[in-house]
């Protein structure tokens, strides 16, 4: 067939008065030019007709994932494969009179075809990675790690196939020699291998996902996970700095994941107010009458007074206040806080709600609030916590209590002025 084509070209050139033999360079050049022209036409048809029609269909579709593939130009990169295939089939025919050159060009075209195929697959993998960023499954699984691993695998496959094409050997021949280089590969790609294994463990156990708030003091990380890749985990800290953590460190070292807090719908407040012990006292009759008007204590006083009366019925000589049980301002204050928090619309009622007294210290008697807010958003959580403690500090004087505060410069100056006046 090649000889027939060359003979026809020679006759066609003879018509223009050009003396050409079927085997000379002029015929070969014309055949090569024709092959290039056919490859260009094939690419034009695929790029301008087929792909344009497909893109129009994609733009009209309601799904969004196909738009991502279009944005990454997957079809355009696949279109480059078409002229490569055409040239790979036709150029060797054009060079039958030059076997050495034909073999070299054939191998180079085959390698070019492999590169174009891998390039198109890379674009498709990038599209899959982008789709996973907005997909719930993608947030739970380290898709980027698998994408990077697949790219790495394809890279090595491309190298092995290209070398086998150049050497005219089977790829199996080169794969059989990889066992010798295993130690070298393990050393060079240590972080990659550890990261891949860690990525599988992180995904299987759902230890960390994109969007999770994690805290890892060893690496100075305290923020939201932005990216889980093959070797590293990218964390954007709350101060807007970026921390990169090795993926395997999340498996081998301890870290805190706040995802459970977000999923539960409650965020803990665990804070104490220190009461000045000198302000603690028994309630008088006037105190009880005044405090009984507080809505949160209207049910507390009758029940508590009956309980104390029943207990004191067994005690003699109640004229001494230390004998028997009596209401105290700090105990009443705890009861008030318990009821106040029960009625608070921002406190999660299905989680632990407790007001407790801790061991006294040199800074007073700690009354701790242990509750959960029903809003886990940081700014709203802080606002709820501040509102609750604003109220607590404001109502302390109503119970005759004072918050402990270490002496300041003004306190010391006041003491000096009193001493001078004395």
Distance separating alpha carbons of residues 213 and 226, to the nearest angstrom? 10
Tell me which of 276 and 166 has the higher pLDDT. 276
Q: What are phi and psi of 329, to 5 degrees?
A: -70, -35
Please tell me which residue, 297 or 193, carries the higher pLDDT value.
297
Positions of E strands within 172-287: 213-216, 221-228, 232-237, 242-246, 256-257, 267-275
Mean pLDDT of 75-101: 79
Residue 244 pLDDT exceeds 50: yes
User: How far apart are alpha carbons 422 and 40 in whole angstroms?
Assistant: 107
Q: How far is CA 341 from CA 266, 269, 387, in A?
A: 15, 12, 12
Residue 295 banded pLDDT, cuts 50, 70, 90 = very high
The separation between the first and the last C-alpha atoms of the chain, rounded to the nearest angstrom, is 126
Where residue 247 falls among pLDDT bands split at 50, 70, 90? confident
Alpha-carbon 343 to chain mean position: 37
> Which residues make up the CATH 2.30.30.60 domain(s) of the chain?
135-264
Give the DSSP H or E segment for 373.
strand 365-373
What is the 3-state secondary structure of the chain? CHHHHHHHHHHHHHCCCCCCCCCCHHHHHHHHHHHHHHHHHHHHHHHHHHHHHHHHHHHHCCCCHHHHHHHCCHHHHHHCHHHHHHHHHHHHHHCCCCHHHHHHHHHHHHHHHHHHHHHHHHHHHHHHHHHHHCCHHHHHCCHHHHHHHHHHHHHHHHHHHHHHHHHCCCHHHHHCCCCCCHHHHHHHCHHHHHHHHHHHHHHHCCCCCCCCEEEEHHHCEEEEEEEECCCEEEEEECCCCEEEEECCHHHHCCCEECHHHHHHCCEEEEEEEEECHHHCCECCHHHHHHHCCCHHHCCHHHHHHHHHHHHHCCCCCCCCCCCCCCCEHHHHHHHHHHHHHHHCCCECCCCCCEEEECCCECCEEEEEEEEEECCCCHHHHHHHHHHHHHHHHHHHHHHCCCECCCCCHHHHHHHHHHHHHC
pLDDT digits (tens, 9 = 90+) for 45-67: 888 888 888 878 877 777 777 77
- CATH annotation of 265-405: 3.30.70.100
pTM of the model: 0.60
Residue 16 has pLDDT above 50, yes or no: no
- 312-325 per-position pLDDT tens digit: 888 777 777 778 88
Yes or no: say if 92 and 56 are a contact pair by the CB < 8 Å rule.
no
| Across 79-97, average pLDDT | 79
Provide CATH 3.30.70.100 ranges for the chain. 265-405
User: What is the Cα–Cα distance from 5 to 22, expressed in whole angstroms?
Assistant: 8
Q: Does the pLDDT at position 22 exceed 50? A: no
pLDDT, residue 177, reads 61
Mean of pLDDT values over 262-283: 92
Tokens coding 344 = 């608070």
Q: What is the pLDDT of residues 107-138, one digit of tens each?
A: 888 888 899 999 999 999 988 888 877 666 65
Mean pLDDT of the chain: 82
pLDDT class for 3, splitting at 50, 70, 90? low
Write down the architecture of domain 135-264 according to CATH.
Roll (2.30)
pLDDT at 416 exceeding the cut of 70 = no
């Amino acid at each position: 067939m090649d000889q027939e084509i060359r003979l026809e070209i020679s006759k066609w050139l003879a018509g223009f008065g050009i003396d050409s033999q079927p085997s000379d360079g002029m015929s070969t050049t014309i055949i090569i030019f024709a092959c290039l022209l056919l490859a260009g036409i094939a690419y034009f048809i695929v790029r301008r007709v087929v792909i344009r029609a497909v893109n129009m269909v994609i733009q009209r579709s309601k799904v969004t994932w196909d738009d991502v593939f279009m944005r990454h130009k997957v079809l355009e990169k696949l279109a480059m494969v078409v002229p490569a295939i055409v040239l790979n089939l036709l150029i060797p025919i054009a060079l039958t009179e030059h076997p050495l050159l034909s073999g070299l060009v054939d191998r180079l075209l085959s390698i070019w075809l492999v590169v174009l195929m891998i390039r198109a697959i890379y674009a498709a993998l990038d599209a899959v990675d982008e789709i996973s960023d907005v997909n719930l499954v993608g947030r739970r699984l380290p898709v980027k790690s698998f994408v990077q691993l697949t790219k790495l695998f394809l890279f090595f496959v491309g190298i092995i196939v290209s070398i086998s094409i150049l050497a005219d050997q089977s790829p199996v021949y080169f794969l059989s020699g990889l066992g010798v280089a295993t130690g070298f590969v393990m050393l060079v790609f240590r972080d990659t291998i550890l990261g891949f294994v860690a990525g599988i463990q992180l995904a299987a156990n759902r230890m960390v996902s994109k969007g999770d708030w994690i805290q890892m003091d060893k690496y100075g990380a305290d923020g939201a996970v932005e990216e889980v890749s093959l070797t590293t985990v990218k964390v954007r800290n709350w101060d807007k700095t970026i921390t990169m953590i090795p993926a395997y460190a999340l498996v081998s070292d301890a870290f805190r994941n706040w995802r459970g807090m977000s999923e539960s719908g409650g965020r803990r407040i665990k804070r104490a107010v220190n009461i000045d012990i000198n302000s603690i006292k028994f309630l008088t009759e006037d105190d009880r009458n005044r405090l009984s008007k507080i809505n949160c204590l209207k049910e507390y006083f009758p029940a508590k007074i009956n309980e104390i009366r029943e207990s004191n019925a067994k005690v003699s000589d109640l004229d001494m206040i230390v004998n028997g049980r009596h209401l105290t301002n700090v105990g009443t204050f705890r009861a008030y806080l318990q009821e106040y928090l029960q009625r608070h619309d921002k406190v999660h009622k299905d989680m632990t709600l407790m007001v407790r007294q801790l061991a006294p210290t040199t800074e007073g008697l700690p009354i701790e609030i242990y509750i959960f807010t029903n809003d886990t958003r940081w700014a709203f959580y802080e606002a709820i916590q501040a509102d609750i403690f604003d109220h607590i500090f404001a109502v302390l004087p109503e119970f005759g209590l004072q918050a402990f505060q270490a002496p300041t410069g003004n306190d010391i100056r006041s003491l000096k002025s009193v001493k001078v006046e004395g």
